[in-house]
Each structure stands twice: as C-alpha cells, then as structure tokens.
Structure 1
Amino acid sequence: MDTILSPLYIAVSWIIVQFHSFYSLIFDKDSGAAWGLSIVSLVVLIRICLIPLFVKQIKSTRNMQALQPKMKAIQERYKNDKQRQSEEMMKLYKETGTNPLSSCLPILAQSPFFISLYQVLNHIAQNKVVGVIDQPLLESAQKAHIFGAPLAAKFMDSAEKIQSLGASVVDVRVVTIIMIVLMSASQFYTQRQLMTKNVDLTVKTPFMQQQKMLMYVFPIMFAVFGINFPVGVLVYWLTTNVWTMGQQMFVIRRNPTPGSKAFEERQERLRAAGKIVEAPAEIAAKQAAEEARQNRQQPKRQTKSKRQTGGAPAGGAQNRTRAGSASGGSGSGQGAAKKQSLEKKDTQDGKGKDGASASRTTKSGQRKGQQRPKHPTKK
C-alpha cells in the first residue's frame, strides 16, 4: 500500500509543509493552530480543485431524478428478465447521457487524499518520517495539540501511547467525541437539506427513498469509523463536511431543482425583485381567481323551522295572513279570480292535449297514405 500511494504521500505532505511554513509566520511553528490550519487549507485546496466534479455531480443527480419514472417502468416491465432490464437501463443512460457514478465522483476523487493524509498522520504517531516531512518537522507535528489532543492521537489509543504524545486520555477522548458528533451532525444536515429543499416533491420515486436512507446511514458510518480516525483526519473530514454544506446551500439558493421547495422560494424572490414578469394572461387569470374567491358568498344557515317549511320564512306566511284579513271583502273577489284562472288553465291544457293528439293522428295518417282529416269549425 505504501509503495503504491507513495507519490500521494509526498504530494499531501508537501502541501501540508508549505501551508505550515506560511502559518508559522503567524503562529508558533509547534502549535496546533499552525498544523491544524495547514490541514484545513489542504481541504480547501482539494475542494476547489473538485468544483468541476461537484457541478457534474449536481447535473447527474438531477438527471437521475428525472429518469426515475422511466427506470421504474422498465423495472416493472422486465421484472422477470434481469438481463433485459439491465440492457434497457444502459440504453436509457446512453440516450440521456447520464452516468449513475457521476454523483459519487467528488467522494471517489477525494478518497486517495483522505487515505494519504490518514497514513501521513499515522506515520507521525509512530515517529516515522514520511514524504517530505523530515525529523525536525516530525517532532514539531508531534508537539502540536488541538484543544489538548495531539493531531496523531485516536479515540481507541491506549493510555501509554497517548502519554507518549504528551496528552491525557480524557482530553483526547473528549475532543474526538465532540468532533465526531459535529462531523455526523454536519453530514446529516447536508443530506436533510437536500431532501427537504432540493427534491422535486411532485414525483415520488425510489431515488427519494434511497436518499432518505442515506441521510441516516452516513452519520452512523461516520460515528462508527470516527473512533479509529486520528484527530488530524477528523479535522480534515469535519472541514470537508462544512465545505460541502456551505457549497450545497449556495447551489440550492442560486440553482435549485425545478419543482422543489427551494425553486418556489427562488421564483418568489425573483418575482418580488421584478426580475420575473408574468404573461398578461396569467396575471388576469390569477386576478379573476382571486376576485371570484373574495366575492364567493357562503349560504346562510337556516333554522330548523325554515328547513321544514322548504326555506320559506315563517314571518312571510304571517304577513300574508295579516294582509288577507286586512283586505276584508276583497279576499272573496281574489278567490273568485283565482278560481277563474285555474279553470282557464285547465281549458288550455285540454286544448293542448287534444291538439297534440290530433297532430300525432295526422302524422300517422300521412305515413299510411290517408288524407288529413278536417277539423270541425268552431262556433
């Protein structure tokens, strides 16, 4: 392993030494600040170089989200033929230009540097020269402590080994626990931010379930493996998590996924700033909908007595009764007029029925070749 990664050991140790030389102008060369900031600067330099891969990761993640419905359809269609299913999946990836591994590129590209830093710090803990770190720099690094914990110390180290680095077991374990908790919490928040703000909520896909699972799996993994990391590696990993979190917040705010909560918030900000001008038809439709909502009246609640009488108010019947009694003798005249009106209506209805019957008879006679009967003359 050392032979294969030896060039990376040299590269990582050289970068750390260069940053250490710079920070030694500000802090004591044997202090934890000088060596700790050198590791932080190494992270920043690596992450800046990985920005193009991060952009590619974002695009790949969005493409995978958009392809989830089609992928699910392929899985359902060829669920009994795994080979055909794989062929159709690869065909879909090729047609859309999507690479499922692109979302893992930043982690994969960062892994060699992470392993190299781990080995460099492990050599320092074992008092071994590594890369461009010679014996004077090795002694300086061993004296460097961050809040009382040596850079090369681990949570699981024995008391004798920790004392040989000039520290106590309590200091090392307290510092490592705090850093592991912060590292896991930053990873959880980063994944949760992605799930709650930058996912298209209109499409429910298995990809969302996978992301939700990773939101809990990654922090647990960091907590389990973190107890075997040296303090310097914990500084490295905590710094890269904080960088990822800030970088993701920037991307979500400036370039969110369409259909996500962050996208709606960005549209509202642009609309408030006047940078988005809606079409007149959309504005008129929204205004009409708002006016209709405001003008819509709720039906008045009726009492039990009104519902039983078909909604007619009881006071109206009383008023009509009073009006009838007040009219006196005119009531009988109105009754006679009403009777005549009913008789007239019955006569008209009878004529209407006779006319309809005669019309049907006439049409039937015409179909059979008969002559149209003449109506008797009215006297």
Structure 2
Amino acid sequence: MDFLSSIFNPLVQALEFILGFIHDIFSVVGIESYGIAIIVLTVIIKMIFYPLTVKQVKSMKAMQELQPKMKKLQEKYKNDPKRLQLEMGNLYKTAGVNPLAGCLPLLVQMPFLMGMFYALQSLDYGGDPTFLWIKNLSNPDPFYILPVLSALSTFIVQKQTASSSGSAQMQMQMKIMSIVMPLFIGWISCNFAAGLVIYWIVNNVMQILQQWWMYRHEDTTAKKE
C-alpha cells in the first residue's frame, strides 16, 4: 500500500490542495466544513468525467445486450478458435461496439479514484473535522449510517447498469454480484474514514443521476410501448 501511495502522491497532494481551497472558499461565507468541501469536489470531478462516463456505461450496456449472440457464436465455433475470433469481430463491427470502450474510460478515472482514496483516508481535517452527526471525518462512522448508504447506493448503481438480456446463468451471476458487491462495499466502509465514505456515496449518487439522465428518453419510450 505504501508503494501505491507513493505512486499517487503527486495527485494526492493536488487533490488535498484543491479540497483545502474549496474549504477555504466556503469558510469565507461562513460555511466551514470539510464535509461540504468533499461533496463539492466529488461533484466537480464527476462532471468533468461525464463524457467518459457516458462512453463507459453505454459500452457496458451494449456488451451485455450482445451476450446472447456471443454465446451462440461460442457454441457454434467452439472447435474453431480462428473462425470464432473472426465472427466475434464481425459481430462487434456490425453492432458498432468496441469491447475496450468500457475499460478505457475507467482506466482514465482510476488514478483520481485512487488519489481520492489516499487523500481522504489520511487527510488532516484541522480544527473542523465534524460533519452532521459525525464528530471526526478521519474516523469511521460510529452509527454505521454511512456504510449502509454506501451499500445501498452501490446496489442502485449496479441495478441501473444491469441488463435483462443474457443467459439464465449470466443473469444469476449478475444477481449474485448485485448483492455481494454492495454488501462488501458496506462492510469495508465500516473501517474507512467517514470522509472517504462520503466521497463514495456522493460519487454513486452522481453516477445514478448521470445514468438516469443518459437513459431518460429510453425509459419514456419503453413506457409508451
């Protein structure tokens, strides 16, 4: 972990500086709260990466919808790897889907995710570490409210992204993951600094809103049909 921390150290320091700057701006108008600063910085980062989020979510949806066709090709050409590779390439081309399109945006955003993790997990909040019911943002939430919210928001994000297409086995795997992952996130959030968990929750809420905005027309069309 120390090795990873040293790799992201320049970004961590930059994020801590920006967070402190936002905190100081709000302090001028009488709102001296690192909790508010964390929320504002998270919203700013999510808005900056919104175009990448669009590509990532739509690519994931498209790949999920192609799963039934991909499975048929795998069964049909299971003894001919070269033909399978060719047919899969044609399928992606016909559907206008790039398998890497969902990974690249995530890779671009990953350094910022790691940077925020290290910045908020070890940040010295100075003289005002309190926020709402939390006495110190450097410590875990003693009432476990934030871990519950982190698990719930993670569940909603996964539910939004999940597709109803695919084999029964795949649907079962997705259903299991939609339960296991939120529970895991909630569990580890019990030991993380409250400031870091606030970031995760706000990040999820922004993801939920952005995905709703992306697919609002599709939802309206589906209801009419």
| TM-score (structure 2 length as normaliser) | 0.81
Alpha-carbon distance, 1:91 to partner: 5.1
Q: d(CA) in 2 for partners of 1:101 and 1:210?
A: 22
SS at match of 1:228: coil
Residue of structure 1 in register with 2:203 after alignment: 240
2:28 to 20, 25, 41: 25
Question: Where does the alignment leave 5 or more consecutive residues of structure 2 unmatched?
Answer: none
Residue of structure 2 in register with 1:44 after alignment: 43
Residue of structure 1 in register with 2:175 after alignment: 212
Q: d(CA) in 2 for partners of 1:180 and 1:9?
A: 23
Residue of structure 1 in register with 2:149 after alignment: 182
Identity of aligned residues (%): 34
Q: d(CA) in 2 for partners of 1:185 and 1:253?
A: 22
Residue of structure 2 in register with 1:153 after alignment: 139
Alpha-carbon distance, 1:238 to partner: 0.5
1:264 and 2:213 correspond: no
Per-residue CA deviations over 1:107-156 (Å, capped at 9, x if unaligned) read: 4443322322222234435xxxxxxxxxxxx533xx411223311113xx
Code of the aligned partner of 2:15: V
Q: d(CA) in 1 for partners of 2:160 and 2:5?
A: 38
Structure 1 residues 66 and 223: alpha-carbon distance in aligned structure 2, compared to 1, 3 A threshold = closer
Structure 1 residues 85 and 17: alpha-carbon distance in aligned structure 2, compared to 1, 3 A threshold = same
Q: Is the 8 A contact 1:118 1:230 kept in 2?
A: no
Residue of structure 2 in register with 1:69 after alignment: 68
Structure 1 residues 101 and 152: alpha-carbon distance in aligned structure 2, compared to 1, 3 A threshold = farther
Residue of structure 1 in register with 2:142 after alignment: 173
1:168-317 equivalences in 2 (<5 Å): 172-174=141-143, 177-195=144-162, 199=163, 204-205=166-167, 208-256=171-219, 263-265=221-223, 267=224
Alpha-carbon distance, 1:19 to partner: 0.9
Residue of structure 1 in register with 2:126 after alignment: 139
Q: d(CA) in 2 for partners of 1:43 and 1:220?
A: 23
Q: d(CA) in 1 for partners of 2:104 and 2:173?
A: 18
Per-residue CA deviations over 1:318-377 (Å, capped at 9, x if unaligned) read: xxxxxxxxxxxxxxxxxxxxxxxxxxxxxxxxxxxxxxxxxxxxxxxxxxxxxxxxxxxx
Residue of structure 2 in register with 1:373 after alignment: none
| TM-score (structure 1 length as normaliser) | 0.51
Question: Where does the alignment leave 5 or more consecutive residues of structure 1 unmatched?
Answer: 126-137, 155-171, 257-261, 269-379
Q: d(CA) in 2 for partners of 1:188 and 1:2?
A: 28
Q: Is the 8 A contact 1:149 1:231 kept in 2?
A: no
Alpha-carbon distance, 1:94 to partner: 4.8
SS at match of 1:148: coil
Structure 1 residues 105 and 173: alpha-carbon distance in aligned structure 2, compared to 1, 3 A threshold = farther
1:329-344 equivalences in 2 (<5 Å): none
Residue of structure 2 in register with 1:131 after alignment: none
Per-residue CA deviations over 1:259-284 (Å, capped at 9, x if unaligned) read: xxx6321x36xxxxxxxxxxxxxxxx
Code of the aligned partner of 2:221: F
Per-residue CA deviations over 1:229-251 (Å, capped at 9, x if unaligned) read: 21111000010111112222233
Alpha-carbon distance, 1:53 to partner: 1.2
Alpha-carbon distance, 1:69 to partner: 2.9
How many residues matched? 220
Alpha-carbon distance, 1:61 to partner: 2.8
Code of the aligned partner of 1:21: D
SS at match of 1:144: coil
Per-residue CA deviations over 1:176-209 (Å, capped at 9, x if unaligned) read: x1101111112212333444xxx4x5x5446644
Q: d(CA) in 1 for partners of 2:166 and 2:60?
A: 15
Q: Is the 8 A contact 1:180 1:223 kept in 2?
A: yes
Q: d(CA) in 2 for partners of 1:48 and 1:28?
A: 23
Per-residue CA deviations over 1:271-315 (Å, capped at 9, x if unaligned) read: xxxxxxxxxxxxxxxxxxxxxxxxxxxxxxxxxxxxxxxxxxxxx
Alpha-carbon distance, 1:28 to partner: 5.2
Alpha-carbon distance, 1:81 to partner: 5.2
1:12 and 2:11 correspond: no
